[in-house]
Amino acid sequence: MDAAPPRRLGSIDALRGLTVAAMLLVNNPGDWSAVFAPLRHADWHGCTPTDLVFPFFLFLVGVSMAFSVAPRAHDAAARPALARGVLQRALRIALAGVLLHLLVWWALHTHHFRIWGVLQRIALCAAVVGVVAVYVRPRTQLALLVALLVGYTVLL
């Protein structure tokens, strides 16, 4: 018997598409000498639409984990395979980011190689969130979320 393919949510796909379009727009705004202000990062204080692209990606990672991994994690026997799958996907994303940076470094002869690019950071977050979604109970996840938010507020 063939298992039914997982059902996709159009709203998640739409937000993912809008986020990718926004990423392309803020990374290629045209003439860099005259960029529309919302397409620049805020210097320090403030927030522009450009500053929201990366958090939207991370939001989508978390929502996708909630719909794809968390329901399957109820079966204790499936948890190791789920965690392995999450970590393998995160590793592939990180390697893709490193390879892209290597390609740019080699092709454009840049002076430095950036290991922690955007894809690598997304992969790290996806790995941590995926393992938490697989092994940590919802109540403990909520406590972890509150602790992170309180800790971040204290640091600010």
Domain check: are 131 and 88 in the same one?
yes
**What confidence score (pLDDT) does residue 4 get?**
61
Neighbours of 91 (CB within 10 A): 12
Same domain, 81 and 135: yes
pLDDT at 109: 82
Global confidence as pTM: 0.82
- Same-domain pairing of 82 and 13: no
The pLDDT, as a whole number, for residue 29 is 81
Does residue 87 share a domain with residue 33?
no
User: Domain range spanning residue 131?
Assistant: 69-155
List the one residue out of 137, 117, 129 whose CA is nearest residue 86.
Answer: 129
Tell me, yes or no, whether 60 lies in a domain. Answer: no
Written as one string, the DSSP assignment of 113-128 is --SS-HHHHHHHHHHH
The list of the chain residues with pLDDT below 70 reads 1-6
- Residue 2 has a pLDDT of 53
What's residue 113's pLDDT? 79
- In total, how many domains does the chain have? 2
Same domain, 80 and 138: yes
Q: Are residue 75 and residue 142 in the same domain, yes or no? A: yes
Phi and psi at residue 37, in whole multiples of 5°? -50, -40
CA 138 – CA 67 distance, rounded (Å):
14
Q: Would 2 be classed as within a structural domain?
A: no
Per the domain annotation, does 57 fall within a domain? no
Condensed to tens digits (0 to 9), the pLDDT of residues 1-21 reads 456 666 778 889 999 999 999
Residue 92: predicted pLDDT:
97
